[in-house]
Structure 1
Amino acid sequence: MYSISRKSFLALLVFCAGIKSKIKYFYFSNSEIKTVTSFADVVLPIEEPGMPNLVEASVMRRLDEELYFVADEIQEDFHAAVMVLEFIPLLYWKFRTFSNMEKEERIQFLESIAETDSDTIRAVVGNLKLLVFLVYYGHKSTWDSISYPGPFANPPEKWSEARLHYQNLLKGNSV
């Protein structure tokens, strides 16, 4: 009998679920965008006065840009983490996937699993939260709201070759 690795099985599952159909972003699929946006919507303080929303802080675009250039193993792990987040409510007898829950339900669900004994669930939620926070608070639009004056001596932003390449891809230039 043929044995299949866990990563191969997850990749096959992701492919069969149609998650690999990338349209608007280079890394994320449409379903992953919906899941990560639903997650960021409840963990970030976007409804607080003076705080930018997800679009103003370019959260999804920066996540897509950063994850587009990482190693394939990291990309696969992140795809798997997003899939776990999307379907984990079903294991807790919720009859909707994460992105299809109402905002209050998502908040309550994340609070209910905060003290879980599952290392996997804690790792998925914690690592996704860390990455979303890093991108959100790393954007200049949040700095005034959190009283961060910016880098010392305020040097001009210098983009890496990877960021320039990503911007060219967005513009349709395949340089």
Structure 2
Amino acid sequence: MLDDGDEAPEVTAPMATPEAAASTERGSYTGGDVSEFSLSDALDDGPVVLAFYPGVYSRTCTQELCELRDWKADLADLDAPLYGVSVDSPWSLLAFMDEYDLQYPLVSGFNNSIIADFGVRREESIMRGIANRAVFVVAPDGVVSYTWKATEPLTFPDTDEVEAAVAAAAEVE
């Protein structure tokens, strides 16, 4: 897993956006509803928060993503985008966003290396290949300035710590 002070990898991946989820009827998604996420492009506007999670529609991940949805208003004051990242396909991410009214993008680790590149890919068990629950704050210079990894089920990052890390990373600009 990447650690504080490590250079974040340049990654691109498919991304589901709130706008696409709202503008297309669930079950009617096409490739045209999928955007592209580029970490370097996202960093052009300041620090970025990446919240990795195993998968949508699981009990714990649904709870976490909804808590992040509710917390995002606080983060908006800090001017840092939040992106959820899992191995789910972009179409399942769009359906989840629509169902739970998420107002932040979800990045698809399906068929790309973003989860492995950040060192959070589960390598053992029947669930091999999914992301372990982790949060990274990446400063505008591309350096990881905060990391958190779940050590127990049903544990989530301390949002006050994430907010403080975002504020500190914004000073790097």
**TM-score, normalising length: structure 1:** 0.26
Per residue, is there more helix in 1 or in 2? 1
**TM-score, normalising length: structure 2:** 0.26
Per residue, is there more strand in 1 or in 2? 2
**Which structure has more RCO (C-alpha within 8 Å, separation ≥ 6)?**
2
